[in-house]
Amino acid sequence: MQFEYQISRSIHDEHQNTITYLEKLETELLKHGHDKAPDLAEGDLGSIIWQLIPLIEEEIGIHFQFEEESIFPILDTAGDSGITFLLTEEHRTILPLGERLMELARGTRNNTLDDETWSELRRLGIELIERLVSHIQKEEMGLLPMIETLIDEEQDAELSNNYAMMR
């Protein structure tokens, strides 16, 4: 779908970047069994795990905050609070999951990972992928088209500027 407004395009582009990363993460996580920690110094797994940190801080944390503070009130005012409630509830599930993964990723700083930590990281990583992909699909099919119908050029400029300032 083509979006008229910059804010919709920005959110869409972030979604696409996140999906691309999640596909890489899933490929790497599924290459290795859940019982034995892989050697993070070999291959791409270590660097992909490290990319969880900015993904969660920027793509998830700031993205969710912006939606809740700036986008959802517009939808609520228009009477579309059902979708904002659903997406907010998903944010409340995804963010703590991401924060735990970020802790685990930080623990791999010197390419060390024990079997128990690997098992948790792998399990939570797969859960994050499933939840976040589903969440992005809802936003792409519901939220972004709604934004396109509810804002004008002036609101788009203000929203885009506010979002850029948060980043």
pLDDT in tens, 114-140: 899 999 999 999 999 999 999 999 999
* Structure confidence at residue 66 (pLDDT): 97
33 has pLDDT over 90: no
- CATH number at 61 reads 1.20.120.520
Q: Look at residues 164, 167, 161, 159 and name the one whose alpha carbon lies nearest to residue 69.
A: 159
User: What tens digit of pLDDT does each residue of 69-123 get?
Assistant: 999 999 999 998 999 999 999 999 999 999 999 999 998 877 778 899 999 999 9
The answer to whether position 66 is within a domain reads yes
Residues 6+ apart with CB under 8 A from 24: 44, 48
The answer to whether position 131 is within a domain reads yes
pTM of the predicted protein model: 0.92
Q: Determine the structural domain holding residue 59 and report its residue range.
A: 6-166
| Rounded Cα gap, residues 64 and 21, in angstroms | 18
The answer to whether position 1 is within a domain reads no
Q: How many domains does the chain have?
A: 1
Helix (H) or strand (E) holding 20, with range, is: helix 6-31
